Every structure is written in structure tokens, then in C-alpha cells.
Structure 1
Amino acid sequence: MKIFLALILFFQLGFAQTKDGHEIIEKVKKKFSEVKDYQVDVKIIVDVNFLKVPQTEATIFFKQPDKVKIKSQGFALLPKEGLNFSPQSLFQKAYTSFYERDEMVEGINCAVVKVIPLGEVNEVILSTIWIDKQKSVIKKVESTTKMNGTFTIDFDYGKGEYDLLPAQMVFSFDVSKMNIPNNFGGNGHDDPDQPKRKKNKLTKGTVKVIYSNYKVNLGIADSIFDEKKEKK
């Protein structure tokens, strides 16, 4: 009888641990730590109705824990931190978290975790994160900010050796909350054929990032990330 009760307690404790938001996030960070560095080619496609932005191609370099370098000849609406999907970067500042529920996302069983940054300096107020329970990778992020509304990031992953690195990322945001001029990304002049943004009207925009040609754990030199050296 005692053994039976002990087994019940063991399984209950094991189940409870999977419902701990902090532990779920730590599993994601541990899994991603297998990637020491990578180099990847990306295509960036901007879809905003009042902007004409050509498709951009770039190369991204990453090295643990949070070094990121983007080499591109063109323009990209998405900032560098938006292209850095490293869990260490997402969770590098103090935060509190809690498990909310399980939810299926595109046929994948995900744990939904709420993350609340601590301190007054954070632009993000609250993030909801969907985490693939089997692979311990982030499937989706939805964040509410102080000044720029709410944005979401959806991840799709490849198969095979690099299945913990995304094959595609879609960044969706409310353009009406962002201070972007109509001629942004153009030649400095308004285009009469380009749709005008209506003030105070909800305008959705997306940035799709397609990843290809991953080179992982080959040993990227720190000098790649030295911006001062590059400016010389």
C-alpha cells in the first residue's frame, strides 16, 4: 500500500512539474543551448498596404548567448532584436511566469505560458508564449507593449538535424501604433500611387522571414560581431 501511494505521489509530482512555467521555459533554454552558433541566409518579405518595400535578402550570424549580426544591402522593417529568436535573449531580463493551459497549434500540443517582465524599463508589458511540449521550442509569441500595441510572432520549424531552428517566422503587428512615414523604404518622396495610411485606423502589417542554408556550430569568430571594426 505504501509503495502504491508513493507511486501515485511520484506521478503527481512529475505531472505538476510539467505545469510549472519557469521549468517549461528552462527546458526551452537548455534545448537551444545545443546551438553554440549559426549562420543562415534569410529572405525578408514586408506586407504593409501603404508601403512598397522590395524583398530583402540578408545573412544572419548568431553566437551564444546573445550576439547577433545582420549583413544586408537592402532595407528591412524588422529590427535586429526581432530577428533574434534566441530564448536566452527573450528571457535575459528578470521576469515572472506561470503556466496557463495546454493548446493545440497547427496540430502541435503546446504549453501556454504567461511571462510578465519585472521592472519599469521594459517596453513589453505581457507576453504569452506557446511552447511545443515535445520539442521544447517556441511555436508562437504574443506580446503587448507600452507604446507599440500588440505583436505576434509565429514560428514554423524544419525537419532533420536542425529541427530546433525555425524555417520560417511571421512577425505581425499593428502599423497604426508605429510612427512610420508613407515614403518609408522609398526614395524620400511620396508615391502618388501608394495607398495612404489612415490615422487612428487599425492597420495590420506582417514581416515574413524565410530561413535557409543553416551552418550550425562551425565556430564563428567574435570579430564578426565587432561593429567598430567594420566601420573602419
Structure 2
Amino acid sequence: MVSDPRAVLERLCAERGEDFAGLSRMLGRNAAYIQQFVRRGVPKRLKEEERRKLARYFSISESALGGPPEEPRAPGELVSINRHPVSVSAGPGAIANEGLGKPYFGFDERWLKALTSTPSSNLSIVRVEGDSMSPTLNDGDDILVDLGDCGDRLRDGIYVLRIDDALVVKRLALNPMGRRVTVQSDNPAYPDWPDCGFDEINCIGRVIWSGRKVV
């Protein structure tokens, strides 16, 4: 089944707290460009350069935005996951940038599918900065973030959240009695943020794996 690029962009913006005007400016277009593409069908298709930039920004396949289908992977070939040049703060707050990701880790495809059903194009590796999630996550750890495991799928676990212009990694504990959540730090030296509404949580993705240097 061929995906509708307009529906894909609208869903991604809703899930990740992005806006059409911001994406338009990232492409060097006027603020209404993406909204007109999604809502009015103008232009009929994105230019190749625009499609590529949006796909890399959202860590998805270009085929989801109207590009050619990906080449089938050879048996035994490792799945490459991009690492983005931004840190997620386990401390005061890391500032997100718009840098594009580059291949960083290769995972066995079967192992990756056992970890998550999300396509590899919707996974990203970022680096932890700070110690508020210690000892679970330490400063300098690389974490694998499932960008498709958010929104209605939100549940107890460790997530990357956007707060203003900063990205933070925190543990979420959901209240079973209602749509409320406590944002926690595993390091007891840092305060929790209790009783937050779901609409106050701008979730980027769920942390599903971490890697660190042994010293």
C-alpha cells in the first residue's frame, strides 16, 4: 500500500508537536507552503530536495513522502540507524537543533524486530547529557529512540520529551485512574514533576535501548 505523503506529514506533526509553518521555514519556503501542500494539494508533490530534508528531519523513509521505494535488504545485512547531532538532557536541558542524522549503528534485523515493530526509518540514536537519569542512563550514553512509540501508545517507561526548545529524557509514570502522568528522574537528587496532564507532555519517542562505554 502506497502511503499518502500529506497524511504522513499531518500525522507526524500531530505526534511530535511540529507545525506546518516551522517545516516550511526549514525548507526555505513561505510559512504557508506545507499547509497548502497538506490541505490543498498545492504543489502536487514535494521536490526531491524538500522530500529528502523532511525525511531526514523526521527519520523516516523518503518513500513515505512520495519518493521511490527502498531497495530490499540482502540477507544478513545490518540495519543502519542514524544518530542525530543533538543531545537529550538528563539534566538542565539540551537545545535541539536541525542537524541531519548520519548512519551510526548497525543492528541485526531480526534482533531489531524483536525489540520493536516500528520501521528502522522511524528509529533514531541520540546521546544523553547530564546525570538526572543516573544510574539507568549516564552522561555520554547512546540511546535508541522509537519515534513511533508515543501519542496514544504512551505508557510507563523512559521517553524523550520536548520542553520549549529543549529535549530531555525522563521516566513517565502514568496514573491508572486518569490521563495524568508523573515525570520522574531516576537520580533522587533531582525533583519529579507530578500530576501532569497528557496535553502537557510533548513526547518525541520511547527509549528502547542504551549503549555505553565501560570504564
TM tier, shorter chain?
Answer: under 0.3
Choose between structure 1 and 2: higher strand proportion. Answer: 1
Choose between structure 1 and 2: higher helix proportion. Answer: 2
TM-score, normalising length: structure 2: 0.27
Larger Rg: 1
**RCO greater where, 1 or 2, for CA within 8 Å and sep 6 or more?**
1
